[in-house]
Chains A and B, each alone.
Chain A
Amino acid sequence: MSNGASDHRPRIEVTNVPTPQQERGARRLSTLGRVLLALGLAAGLAAGWIALPAFLYGRQEQPLAFNHLVHVETAAMSCEDCHSFGVDGSYVGIPPLSACADCHSEAQGDSEAERILVDDFVTPGREIPWLVYARQPDNVYFSHAPHVRLAEIECRRCHGDHGKSETTPVYQYNRISTYSRNIWGPRIAGGGPNEWDSMKMSDCVSCHAERGVHDHCLMCHK
């Protein structure tokens, strides 16, 4: 752009030196900005770490509060009395009502849970609609047989110390996916302090990798 006509334009010098008033204004704004930033960050974190989990997870109570400990210690039952393999190799995770009715055809004590069991389920012959903490999504295939019979993995490796619990925890489910929170884990970022806190695909894969199991998509997906 060096033609003769443009040489007649007035030259304007732009300086960036701020006035003292402008300097004070800039400092005030930056202080306000910092406060806003901190507040915004705090609000964002609170929304992400407190409000989101509260909104994301719905809560449901079990039909009755089951006490594992009293069955194991007072009634001296073994785990296999209720949780065992069927003849076709499938695993009975939740026992049928008949297993309960063997002992609880009538109330043996005066607990509220037992009253519900006898009055609402055993007497009318209605199966208990348990909410299964470890239920996997529909496209997941899992079989207990190779894990328990062949690899001899303890129940607590994946399920935790359920056998020592005195009550049933509140069942939490993801409102979007409807999956149990036990799959993802108690932390909002996934997992938890114990190795049985989550049952995600990464948990399966890492254990398989440790044990040198040959993996293939269709082995665990259907």
Chain B
Amino acid sequence: MSTHSGVTATTSYAMVIDLDKCTGCGACMVGCAVENNISVPPVAAAENRGLTWIRVYRVDNGKEFPEHRSVCVPIPCQHCDNAPCIHVCPVTAVQMDESTGIVGQIPTRCMGCRYCMAACPYHARYFNWFDPIWPEGMEDTLNPDVSPRMRGVAEKCNFCHGRLDRARELASAGGRPTSEPVTYQPACAEACPHGAITFGNMLDESSEVYQLAHGPHAFRLLEALGTKPKVTYLSREPWVRRIGLSRLDMVRGLADAPEGA
């Protein structure tokens, strides 16, 4: 795939989350927090001031028992090909790496205006309301491959870029050129006890992630907005596949209004 800057991309990292396998245990959130040095806000902080790069939401079908059904939906940054956060950032602190498709956030460049948070339709961005403080002795658990962020900047999932760096380092030490794709697993995919999260290269048509994303049960969140997210969800339940629809779909007549609305 050739991109507008002339870089020939051999990799486009993408994620597939099977909602039928997700139990909402939150292991992905914990694994992510440990991997990415995500600090815990003060105990007295408001509920919406915490940090997490992947949040598990619960959605239900709006019906009473016995038809009541609910599903857990983990939402990390969707790494949109056409990312609104990139367009609105006034200081270019958000960039898309065209060789990997990863949307990166540079905290030292961020000035904390939070336009990106307002622009993100997935609410996948979080703000550092507090100084990152680790309790005495817990500094030893910090991951040296990820730099902790300071108060006053936005942050989000970067598909565990520290792990990608490590995988690239190992490949380079073995003499493999940097243009060759490397494989790695982000912390959430590794932590999921049910194997609900699959991660891989979408440009490789033989990869599991490609096969799953092009299967009959795949859907993406708010596709009508044109953001082209790289995170695909799977479900065999038709009502679950409807949670990706936006009001825009209904206005355009692409989908019926939700039942009971």
Contact = CB atoms under 8 A, between A and B. Distances in A.
B169 A150 contact: no
Contacts of B98: 214, 216
Interface residues of B, number: 30
Interface string A137-154: 011010101100110000
B13 to A, nearest CB: 12
Interface in B119-175: 145-148, 158, 161-162, 165-166, 168-175
B45 interface: no
Given A139-B147, A146-B178, 20 more contacts: A88-B166, A90-B169, A141-B145, A143-B169, A143-B172, A145-B169, A145-B172, A145-B173, A146-B168, A146-B169, A146-B172, A150-B172, A150-B177, A150-B178, A214-B7, A214-B99, A216-B98, A217-B106, A221-B108, A222-B145
B242 to A, nearest CB: 35
B162 A222 contact: yes
Contact of A89 (B99, B106, B170): B170
Given A143-B165, A143-B169, A219 B97 contact: yes
Contacts, number: 70
Contact of B172 (A89, A141, A216): A89
B97 A216 contact: yes
A85 interface: yes
Contacts of B109: 217
A216 B104 contact: yes
A165 B175 CA distance: 31
Contacts of B174: 89
Contacts of A149: 172-173, 175
Contacts of B166: 88-89
B95 interface: yes
B29 interface: no
Contact of B175 (A138, A139, A150, A216): A150
A90 B169 CA distance: 7
B100 to A, nearest CB: 8
B107 interface: yes
B102 A218 contact: yes
B106 A85 contact: no
18 contacts: A88-B166, A89-B166, A89-B172, A138-B148, A141-B165, A143-B168, A145-B170, A145-B172, A146-B168, A149-B173, A149-B175, A150-B177, A150-B178, A214-B7, A217-B104, A217-B109, A218-B95, A221-B147
Interface in A147-198: 149-150
A214 B8 CA distance: 10
Interface in A62-105: 85, 88-90
Interface string A201-222: 0000000000000101111011
A149 B146 CA distance: 24
Contacts of B175: 149-150
Contacts of B170: 88-89, 145
A141 B147 CA distance: 9
A139 B105 CA distance: 12
Contacts of A85: 173
Contacts of B7: 214
B173 A218 contact: no
A138 B142 CA distance: 12
Contacts of B146: 222
A146 B170 CA distance: 9
4 A-B pairs with least C-beta separation: A89-B173, A218-B104, A145-B172, A146-B172
Nearest to A218: B104
Contact of B169 (A89, A138, A218, A222): A89
A219 B172 CA distance: 14
A218 B178 contact: no
B107 A216 contact: no
Nearest to A221: B106
Interface in B1-20: 7
A216 B95 contact: yes
B89 to A, nearest CB: 12
A139 B102 contact: no
A216 B98 CA distance: 8
A87 to B, nearest CB: 9
Residue of A85, A149, A218 with highest tally of chain B CB at under 10 A: A218
Nearest to B5: A214
